[in-house]
Amino acid sequence: MDDISSIDHVDILKVLAHPTRLEFLNWMREPEKHFTSQLHPLEMGICSQQFEKRCGLSQSTVSAHLAALARAGLVEISRVGQWSFYRRNEPAIQAFLSELKDRL
């Protein structure tokens, strides 16, 4: 999803209201700084296990946070075998910020 036109802006704000989700997006902004232990290239995205290691939350909690970000269109998921890799959806984030700026 390159834009967020099909996503309700209120839903995005609800997703962003959780501090852990904001932290995940912040970490993904500079993956080379926050995920140095990942064996796969960071260009693939960040493996969900890396979030678990970094924040200390359970696998199910991390998955729920990442799923919420994905439903909102703020992250993209790439699946490789049994692994899921997450990266920021920059066009969607920028479109949301631009529209928010115009509306407020």
The amino acid occupying position 31 is P
2 assigned to some structural domain: no
Kindly report, residue by residue over 43-66, the tens digit of the pLDDT. Answer: 889 999 999 999 999 999 999 999
Spacing of C-alpha 29 from chain mean position: 9
Examine the pLDDT at 67 and tell me if it is beyond 60.
Answer: yes
- CATH number of the domain to which 26 belongs: 1.10.10.10
4 assigned to some structural domain: no
Number of folded domains that form the chain = 1
Kindly report, residue by residue over 2-49, the tens digit of the pLDDT. Answer: 445 556 788 899 999 999 999 999 999 999 999 988 888 888 899 999
pLDDT of residue 71: 94
Spacing of C-alpha 73 from chain mean position: 9
pLDDT of residue 66: 97
3 assigned to some structural domain: no
Among 32, 44, 100, 52, smallest CA distance to 76 is for: 44
Q: What are phi and psi of 57, to 5 degrees?
A: -85, 160
1 assigned to some structural domain: no
